[in-house]
Amino acid sequence: MYQVRFSAEAHADVRGLPKHVRNSLRKELLKLAADPVNLSLQLREPLQGFRSFHWRNYRVVFIVSAELKSIAVAAVGQRLAGTNADVYRKLEQLAREGKLADQILSVLRRLID
């Protein structure tokens, strides 16, 4: 079983979800923690190295660390194609600004400490 850890931004994403969605998503994340690679899809540039777990109209975008047996969640949000609110567009913007790697590093550092 993998540990699931959230970046500060992903934690804020989850807090912004309706309560019933948060509760259901928690159950789905337990499934993801059991087999993160087979229950998700590999993303392409500019989010190469990240994986996406699909649940309803929501996406959980993360990196798997097999060595640490952990999942570092970068974002949680809806897939809203063609809008700036889309979870992938948000992460692509952070990647262009060089902030996405910092988020993930902060999560991984907490796992090591």
* Whole-number Å distance between alpha carbons of 17 and 37: 25
Measured CA to CA, the distance from residue 25 to residue 60 in angstroms comes to: 10
pLDDT score recorded for residue 29: 93
CB 46 within 8 A of CB 89: no
- Distance CA(38)–CA(53), nearest Å, equals 10
Bridge partner list, 3: 70
- Average pLDDT, integer, range 16-37: 92
109's tokens: 């550092």
- In sequence order, which ranges of the chain are alpha helices (DSSP H)? 8-15, 19-34, 87-96, 100-112
The rounded radius of gyration (Å) of the Cα atoms in the chain is 13
Q: Write the pLDDT tens digit of every residue in 5-21.
A: 998 888 998 999 999 99
- pLDDT computed for residue 15 by the predictor: 92
> In the chain, how many domains are there?
1
Q: What is the pTM assigned to this prediction?
A: 0.83
Domain harbouring 102, CATH code: 3.30.2310.20
Q: Whole domain around residue 55: which residue ranges?
A: 3-112
